[in-house]
Amino acid sequence: MNGVMAAQNPHLPRAEVLVDTDALRHNIALLSGLAAASGAQTMAVVKADGYGHGALHVARTALEAGASWVGVCHLDEALALRAGGITAPVFSWLHVPDEDFAEAVSAGIDLSVSSLAALDGVLDAVRRTGATARIHLKADTGLSRNGCAPQDWPDLVRAAAGAQCTGGVQVVGVWSHLACADEPGHPSIDAQAKRLTEAHAIAVDAGLRPIRHIANSAAVLSRPDLHFELVRTGIAMYGLNPMPPGFGGDELRPAMTFRARVALTKRIAAGEGVSYGLSWTAPRETTIALVPAGYADGVPRALSGRMEVLLGGRRRPVVGRVCMDQVMVDCGDDEVREGDEVVLFGPGTRGEPTAAEWAETLGTIHYEIVTGMSRPRVARTVVPVGGA
């Protein structure tokens, strides 16, 4: 059974992420339906290359399936969507102090503003382009990340209202972000909602008529009272539930599968060690399958000795240390062929590991797993039906 990679699956890449478009559509329709029931529109968040799923494809799919806005973090992400043909409102919210907003203002990108300095930067772009900027004023309601502090909020609102009067900007929204929406009943949720309501009231008193948005995926699923006029769906759109069991999201369908194929098989004798450090020794004669995907491809080295894959219709242990380019799978006496498909994680419908399982093993969150799959060495394939 030794030898180089065979051609049982000649069209399967060495390592590949599959993105299930049907699952994306299902999830977006579910989430946007919950928002619509509250009278809210839906923003599909596609930052970080669509959480590893492909920003442009996810944006297009989301807009077809019920979303009417698209959200990203950085300006280059927003401009890439415009360049890709996205004409719907695109919101960008995290900017550096010397950001040049001119191209974004000209492209009609909605911009978050958290300070007078940021507003000045936007107004400078307005003067240079002659275009009107669409801005959302961000209030820090308790997360203590980005956002205007309460003591500075009235000044920011007054300045924005003045700029709107002169025609330089349109204040589209007042917004914030929840810290603990994935912990049902956490007192900070209501406290932050109250602060947003107060911040919005100050904006209304200044003559503005902005929409409000604070609900992330967890709040979309669990707090319809916080949907307001717009919700922002992130992780749930990709089929990964941010909520603990029993609090919604059970109908979500994971959209990503990570797979590879067997590059080499070999029999090794009992007592032979496997991989760097020889941390695993074969307790019996066995077949080892080499899978050409390692930590450079998104398999965390910390999963060494702690992960399984789906190979030949059953879960099998990865043995020895995860290498930069490969992992080794103990297949016992089963017949495994070079070229066979290996599923590292997927939706779990075939019994394969899931991104959530990886995250639990590593003590992290599934966001980190799927976002980490945006890698130059891993092919990305969009599939119209199913996960494989």
Q: What is the pLDDT along the chain (388 residues), one digit of tens a residue?
A: 233 333 345 577 899 999 999 999 999 999 999 999 999 999 999 999 999 999 999 999 999 999 999 999 999 999 999 999 999 999 999 999 999 999 999 999 999 999 999 999 999 999 999 999 999 999 999 999 999 999 999 999 999 999 999 999 999 999 999 999 999 999 999 999 999 999 999 999 999 999 999 999 999 999 999 999 999 999 999 999 999 988 999 999 999 999 999 999 999 999 999 999 999 999 999 999 999 999 999 999 999 999 999 999 999 999 999 999 999 999 999 999 999 999 999 999 999 999 999 999 999 999 999 999 999 999 999 998 443 3
Q: Looking at residue 38, what DSSP letter applies?
A: T
- Gyration radius from the chain CA atoms: 24
Residue 325 token pair: 């380019």
Cα 69 from chain centre: 16
Calculate the CA dihedral of residues 259, 260, 261, 267 and round it to 10 degrees.
Answer: -100
What is the enclosing helix (H) or strand (E) of 18? strand 15-20
How many whole angstroms separate alpha carbon 232 and alpha carbon 234? 6
H-type helices in the chain, by residue range? 21-37, 47-51, 55-65, 75-83, 102-106, 116-129, 153-165, 187-205, 217-222, 355-362, 366-371
How many whole angstroms separate alpha carbon 134 and alpha carbon 170? 5
Which amino acid is located at 209 in the chain?
A: R
- Which residues are identified as catalytic? 47, 276
**CA distances (Å), 136 to each of 133, 149, 219, in order?**
10, 15, 20
How many whole angstroms separate alpha carbon 139 and alpha carbon 146? 8
Residue 140 token pair: 């820090």
